[in-house]
Chains A and B, each alone.
Chain A
Amino acid sequence: MSRTSLFPAKAGACLAVLLVITLLATGCSDLSGTRSGSSLDQNTTGDLRAYILDVGQGDSSVILFKDKVILIDAGEADQGDTVVKDLKNLGVKKIDLLVATHPHADHIGGMQKVLANFEIGKVLDSGLPTSSSLYEHFLETLDKKKIPYLVAEQGQTIDLDPSLRILVLSPPKERLGDDINTNSIVLRISYGTVNLLYTGDATTPAEDAMVKSGYPLDAQVMKVGHHGSSGSSSAAFLLRVKPEVAVLSLGEKNDYGHPHKETLERLNAAGPRLYRTDTDGTIRVVSDGSTFSVTTENGAVDFWRVATPATTAPATATPAPGATLPIPSITLNATDLASAIPSPVSLPVTLPPVQIGNVSGVYISGVRFDAPGDDRENLNGEWVTVSNRGDEAVLIAGWTLSDRTGSDTYVFPAVLLLPSSSVTVFTGSGSMNDTALYMGRSSPLWGNTGDTAVLRDGAGTIIDQKDGVW
């Protein structure tokens, strides 16, 4: 689709006013503050509003969270004005985090226009030296304006708001060769149980590195890598991300044949609902942290669902005794297992070869840090629930759960978490069963005024973390 700006600007001419009214009526504009014309309105409100802008062949994404603004890339140089206009129509005055996924012209071309029009909190850059004059000028402007500059590195988190988690998944500290696309910044942005994945132009070598890293990759919404090029979106990566919605950002009849047939086949096999900016225009995702909706530029809410049921009470799912497990993908003998587990865990020594399973399905589905009444009298009023939404059973023996400070760590015993099952870890004492584990502590663990539960595997890799303020 070609356009000058998604959102109607103030206009004096009758035709323009008519257009504004039409767009408002179809719920396209955010300037009105409220949406109308859809029976699903009640499901489309939320603190998180994410836009994948139609900037032709290129990328530009905006994430609005409460009063915070993130801009990831700014399209080609000739799209800079469009990006600026869209941001202004969304009411943006300051960009708290400006991300340049990698220094190719279809991602950073519009940056000069953005820098000239908005105050910038900080810039997150891939930091790979390249001779591009466009990049040089971008860096010169940052320097001139004294904008705080940060180079992305896997594992980094960026704090903008206590309930928004921004995790850098790529590139790793040791860069992946010198290919610019491969070293694109990949971000996973989480609000409640809803995760958005922005992949820049990351290629399959980067995807492989992310899969191996052990960081959580699952995301309901994914901006597909490199405009749908066949060199990205590998089947293995998609299997870990498990997107429900995948968005392709690309230009109509582009020179590169994007999206490539192979990519579309892999995406179709993975099953997400596909959106593409060349035919759908700008795509908007709205979320309240547990549900999300997708709206296209035509104003129709055509995708809405509950992301993950929020756990409000300890889970009660009980795995059937002797349940058949899926075919193991990785097997480990008891010796390997023991060496993978930090002391002082003692394991039953007679463990048969067990499957580790696909750890990406495991996540922290619920927390309650502030027990009702006096915490010290109600230690089991504090709990953290760990669930498996993957297709494979996962052995979480030797995994750990720790608080924000990392000083208090609970080590899981030999628990096999079956698909679609949960286990709740209580702070106090009790008798362990399929769905309940007890830390056996005599004092509270979790901070009542806000804490973070961090789940790590036996090797210490973070699998998931969840903030809680209650």
Chain B
Amino acid sequence: MVRSMKATIDRIDQGIAILIDREDDTLQFRVPVSLLPPASREGDILSVTFERDGAGTKEAKEKVSGLIQELRKCS
């Protein structure tokens, strides 16, 4: 399932971009500029997409479970 939103880069200060949801002015979040597409600048409207990574989640869980198993064996 993919959800997407539009946000404006309100400003960039000290390497942090303040993004504001175009639907809700009170919803803002801070993102390091290094994570934004190159050449992004103040005033740009960004399309932000959230996608659940099912395989990645499963893999990470399995890795942690494996570590727990390992640690329990050694104790």
Interface residues of B in 1-43 (CB under 8 A from A): 8, 10-11, 13-14, 16, 18, 20-23, 25-26, 28, 30, 42-43
Interfacial chain B residues near A256, Cβ < 8 Å: 13-14, 16
Q: Is the CB of B16 within 8 A of A105?
A: no
Chain B nearest CB: distance from A253 CB in Å?
14
Q: Tell me which of A33-41, A128-136, A307-315, A363-371 binds B.
A: A128-136
For the complex, is B44 an interface residue (Cβ under 8 Å from A)? yes
CB proximity of B1 to chain A, nearest CB, Å: 25
Size of interface on B: residues with Cβ below 8 Å to A? 19
Select from chain B the residue with minimum beta-carbon distance to A105: B10
Interface size class of A (residues with CB under 8 A): 20 to 34
User: Which chain A residues lie closer than 8 Å to B42 at the CB level?
Assistant: 130, 179-180
A 299-343 contacts with B by CB, 8 A: none
B43 partner, pick from A105, A131, A229, beta carbons under 8 A: A131
Bound-state Cα–Cα, A229 to B14, Å: 9
Please encode chain A, from 87 to 128, with 1 for each CB lying within 8 Å of some chain B CB and 0 for all others.
Answer: 000000000000000001110010010000000000000000
Closest to A226 in B: B13
Complex Cα–Cα for A105 and B30 (A): 13
Chain B residues closer than 8 Å to A130, beta-carbon distance: 42-43
Q: Is the interface of A mostly helix, strand, loop or mixed?
A: loop
CB pair B26 A104 closer than 8 Å:
no
CA distance A361 to B21 in the complex (A): 47
Residues from chain A with Cβ under 8 Å of B43 in the complex: 130-132, 180
Nearest CB on A from B14, distance (A): 4
A256 to chain B, nearest CB (A): 4
Q: How far is the CA of A113 from the CA of B55 in the complex (A)?
A: 45
Q: What is the CA–CA distance of A105 and B11 in the complex, to the nearest angstrom?
A: 8
A257 within 8 A of B: yes
Contact status B13-A109, CB under 8 Å: no
Q: Who on chain B is nearest to A104 by CB?
A: B11
Q: Evaluate whether A105 and B45 lie within 8 angstroms (CB atoms) in the complex, with A133-B20, A133-B22 already known.
A: no
Q: Which of A132, A229, A255 contacts B10 (CB 8 A)?
A: A132
Minimum CB distance partner of B44 in chain A? A131
Task: Say whether chain B's binding surface is mostly helix, strand, loop, or mixed.
Answer: strand
Contact call A255/B8, Cβ cutoff below 8 A: no
A109 close to B8 (CB less than 8 A)? no
Given contacts A77-B25, A77-B26, A112-B25, contact A133 B8 (CB under 8 A): yes
Measured in the bound complex, the distance between the Cα atoms of B18 and A256 in whole Å is: 11
**A131: contacting residue among B8, B14, B23, B25, CB under 8 A:** B8
Give the CA-CA distance A57 to B25 in the complex, in Å: 17
- A257:B8 contact, CB within 8 angstroms: no
How close is A388's CB to chain B, nearest CB, in angstroms? 39
Residue from B14, B20, B26, B30 in contact with A132 in the complex, judged by beta carbons closer than 8 Å: B20
The answer to whether B13 touches A229, judged by C-beta atoms less than 8 angstroms apart, is yes
Identify the closest chain A residue to B27 (Cβ): A77
Whether B25 pairs with A255 at a CB distance below 8 angstroms is: no
Q: Using CB atoms, name the residue of chain B closest to A112.
A: B25
* Bound Cα distance from A132 to B42, whole angstroms: 9
Residues of A within 8 A of B8 (CB): 131-134
Most buried by A among B13, B18, B44: B13
- CB of A161 within 8 Å of the partner chain: no
A376 neighbours in B (Cβ, 8 Å): none
Residue ID in chain B nearest A256 by CB atoms:
B14
* A78 touches B (CB below 8 Å): yes
List B contacts of A112 (CB < 8 A): 25
Residues 409 to 429 of chain A near chain B (Cβ within 8 Å) = none
User: Is A261 interfacial (CB 8 A cutoff)?
Assistant: no
For the complex, give the distance between the alpha carbons of A257 and B15 in Å.
11
Question: A273 in the interface, Cβ–Cβ < 8 Å?
Answer: no
The residues of A that contact B14 with a CB separation of less than 8 Å are 255-257
A74 nearest CB across to chain B (Å): 12
Question: Considering the chains assembled together, what is the distance between the CA atoms of A257 and B16 in angstroms?
Answer: 11
Residues of A near B13 (CB, < 8 A) are 229, 255-256
Q: Are A105 and B44 in contact (CB under 8 A)?
A: no
Chain B positions within 8 Å of A229 at CB level: 13
The smallest C-beta distance from B40 to any residue of chain A, in angstroms, reads 13
The 30 listed contacts between A and B (C-beta, < 8 Å) are A77-B25, A77-B26, A77-B28, A78-B26, A104-B10, A104-B11, A105-B10, A105-B11, A105-B18, A106-B11, A109-B25, A109-B26, A130-B42, A130-B43, A131-B45, A132-B8, A132-B20, A133-B20, A133-B22, A133-B23, A133-B25, A134-B8, A134-B25, A179-B42, A180-B11, A180-B42, A181-B11, A229-B13, A256-B13, A257-B14
